[in-house]
């Protein structure tokens, strides 16, 4: 997705330096992630092997099975050897029966050695491999559908949020949004789901400020949008959230149900949900490996920093996070066209030259990541409830997006900070986008910032501050983990030995086995 945007007069050596510093800051984090596993990584592996469902109280069978294995032998070797050893020994006919027995304590697990370990690993690799193949099948299905039905005519893709809490209400709203011009439908999650250490089962009809992410909800919405895609003659993409304590599991379910984009930031869960950093980094690496295989575009969450920190003073923290997210994503196997790196239009409109600064920040992101479908977020922090002012701000946001070649344009709502948007609010918002793109979509051809002008100076200043921050991060004894603990990003202080989900982290033994990771890495 090469950009169509005016070029800034940046020093290529500074750009290379920033990217190299991000690599150096990120490498110890990758080593940390690959030295640990988590309950969510192991549960996601079982989901890829075909284990789903829940007991009568709603506890997923993957949770019951992983908890039973962990109680008997820990997770240092991974869940696969103990589980498939039990199956090979005849403790149960399949994973479903084994999980049922494990839940009531009628089976005990051990770590096999010798020939028994070889047999268990062979059986595990075969069954987990069926899940990896399903990711491949669904990816090819997407490619065929786009070739047959057609794609969105041009970028930026228009991204609209729909989430009532009731999946059966979300479906007609999503279809109406697509008919009104949306290219991407995002079903945001129910408030607090990121803090649940299990994935709810089945279709859900209750949620607060969002709808629960479940595999059945994914299936229902994907089927509905496929129907609408055929009706409209263009493929409508579907987005959800692979974040929180169940990040890898949700990534696996998304791949198996052919979602197209997933919110998947390397630090969001730690910064804004107080999830332990080691848990987050271990979970996000595996989730991104799944996204890479499934052909899913990730959306990162740098826009959130600007809801807690000043968008002018903290602009460089967004750039640093984008560079880190790029490094972590590429290391996990994602390609540039899958990097929906985030940023936002959040400068206080009362600040002089605010729009010029927004252009500088947007052009800097566009030039640093020329082949990434950047996700550009509308104003939220400085929306006051004045819907007329809000509609104008959204128009300025749309103009900046068109002028700077953003790839994914999230539709701003004039009723932000007032109510959850009505369908009529979304329709007005889409009219705003359509007008600006129709009137100004090719304005980039006529716009060239002066090399010594305000926009170029601001962009170079933010890049220089980004380099300084990365150098300070490398100067910390604990590197990026210490920087996170000090509140470098979004003003949130999150120590590496604290936060939710720490009890679900376990160091891998030297004999750790996970066929899903092996297969995903072998296929790169």
Active-site amino acid positions: 268, 303, 375
- Judge whether 342 and 377 are in contact, CB under 8 Å: yes
Residue 38's H or E segment, with its range, is strand 36-38
Kindly tell me the sign of the dihedral angle through the C-alpha atoms of 104, 106, 112, 116.
negative
Q: What b/e readout covers 353-392, taking b as 16+ CB neighbours within 10 angstroms?
A: ebbebbbbbbbbbbbbbeebbbbbbbbbbbbeeebeebbe
Question: What is the three-class DSSP state of 299?
Answer: strand
Straight-line distance from the first to the last Cα atom of the chain, in angstroms, rounded to the nearest whole number: 21
Kindly tell me the sign of the dihedral angle through the C-alpha atoms of 133, 134, 138, 141.
positive
Question: What is the three-class DSSP state of 410?
Answer: strand
Q: How far apart are alpha carbons 328 and 285 in whole angstroms? A: 7
Question: What is the three-class DSSP state of 29?
Answer: helix
Q: How far apart are alpha carbons 514 and 128 in whole angstroms? A: 9
Both tokens of 211, joined, read: 């709808």
Both tokens of 110, joined, read: 């051990």
Distance of CA 480 to the CA centre of its chain: 20
Both tokens of 370, joined, read: 């020329």
- Judge whether 302 and 321 are in contact, CB under 8 Å: yes
Contacts of 129 (CB under 8 A, 6+ apart): 515, 519
Contacts of 454 (CB under 8 A, 6+ apart): 353, 356, 360
Task: Considering only CA atoms, give the Rg of the chain.
Answer: 23
Task: For Cα atoms 243, 379, 337, give the angle at the middle one, nearest 5 degrees.
Answer: 50
- Judge whether 59 and 198 are in contact, CB under 8 Å: yes
């Amino acid at each position: 997705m090469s950009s169509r945007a005016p070029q800034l007069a940046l020093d290529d050596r500074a750009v290379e330096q920033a990217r190299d510093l991000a690599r150096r800051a990120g490498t110890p984090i990758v080593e940390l992630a690959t030295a640990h596993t988590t309950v969510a990584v192991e549960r996601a592996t079982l989901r890829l092997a075909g284990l789903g469902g829940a007991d009568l109280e709603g506890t997923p069978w993957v949770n019951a099975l992983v908890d039973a294995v962990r109680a008997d032998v820990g997770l240092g070797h991974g869940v696969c050897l103990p589980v498939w050893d039990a199956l090979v020994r005849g403790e149960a006919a399949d994973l479903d029966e084994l999980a049922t027995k494990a839940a009531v304590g009628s089976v005990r697990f051990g770590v096999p050695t010798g020939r028994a370990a070889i047999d268990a690993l062979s059986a595990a690799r075969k069954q987990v491999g069926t899940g990896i193949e399903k990711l491949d099948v669904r990816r090819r299905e997407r490619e065929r559908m786009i070739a047959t039905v057609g794609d969105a005519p041009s970028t930026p893709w228009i991204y609209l949020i729909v989430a009532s809490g009731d999946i059966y209400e979300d479906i007609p709203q999503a279809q109406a949004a697509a008919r009104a011009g949306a290219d991407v439908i995002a079903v945001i999650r129910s408030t607090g789901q990121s803090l649940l250490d299990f994935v709810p089962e089945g279709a859900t009809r209750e949620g607060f400020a969002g709808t629960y992410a479940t595999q059945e909800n994914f299936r229902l919405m994907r089927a509905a949008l496929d129907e609408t895609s055929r009706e409209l003659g263009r493929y409508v993409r579907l987005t959800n959230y692979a974040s929180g304590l169940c990040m890898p599991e949700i990534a696996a379910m998304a791949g198996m149900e052919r979602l197209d984009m997933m919110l998947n930031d390397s630090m969001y869960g730690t910064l804004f949900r107080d999830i332990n950093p080691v848990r987050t980094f271990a979970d996000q690496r595996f989730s991104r490996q799944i996204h890479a295989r499934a052909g899913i575009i990730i959306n990162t969450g740098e826009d959130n920093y600007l809801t807690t920190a000043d968008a002018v003073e903290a602009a460089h923290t967004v750039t640093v996070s984008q560079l880190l997210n790029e490094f972590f994503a590429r290391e996990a196997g994602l390609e540039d066209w899958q990097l929906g790196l985030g940023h936002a239009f959040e400068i206080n409109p009362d600040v002089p030259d605010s729009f010029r600064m927004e252009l500088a920040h947007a052009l800097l992101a566009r030039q640093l990541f020329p082949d990434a479908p950047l996700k550009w977020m509308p104003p939220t922090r400085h929306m006051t409830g004045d819907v007329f002012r809000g509609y104008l701000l959204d128009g300025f946001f749309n103009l900046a997006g068109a002028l700077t070649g953003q790839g994914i344009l999230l539709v701003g709502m004039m009723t932000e900070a007032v109510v959850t948007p009505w369908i009529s609010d979304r329709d007005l918002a889409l009219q705003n986008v359509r007008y600006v793109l129709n009137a100004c979509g090719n304005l980039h051809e006529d716009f060239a910032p002066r090399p010594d002008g305000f926009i170029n100076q601001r962009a170079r200043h933010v890049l220089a501050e980004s380099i300084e921050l990365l150098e300070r991060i490398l100067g910390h004894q604990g590197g990026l983990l210490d920087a996170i603990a000090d509140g470098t990003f979004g003003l949130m202080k999150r120590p590496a030995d604290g936060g939710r989900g720490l009890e679900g982290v376990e160091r891998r033994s030297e004999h750790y086995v996970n066929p899903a990771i092996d297969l995903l890495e072998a296929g790169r």
